[in-house]
Amino acid sequence: MVLGNQSEPDSFFKSRLYQAFCAEKEEILRHKWIESEKAGRDIGFDVALVDWILHYRAGWRRAYVASLEQGARHKLHGSA
């Protein structure tokens, strides 16, 4: 796979974009599990996805971005 000037096959999978996608997908799957347990049945990925986006995504994104910024600050100051 070639993306811009990155030619390593796994460079995309190490990218910040892909890491954010994986983290978000993990949160959606966790939400699906929790809501399915509450409902006593599998609510399905599509229902969980829409519900999570409507109710939780904005807050999750703020926290995710803040954690990235905090990690970057720690690396800048040698605290990581």
Structural contact between residues 36 and 51, judged by C-beta atoms closer than 8 angstroms? no
pLDDT digit string, tens, across residues 4-48: 555 566 888 888 899 999 999 999 999 999 999 999 999 999 999
3-state secondary structure of 16: helix
For the entire predicted model, the pTM comes to 0.74
The total of structural domains in the chain comes to 1
Alpha helices in 2-79 (DSSP H): 16-39, 45-55, 57-76
> What is the domain range of residue 44?
12-76
Quick check: is 3 in a domain? no
**Is 1 domain-assigned?**
no
* 18 is a domain residue: yes
Would residue 52 count as lying in a domain?
A: yes
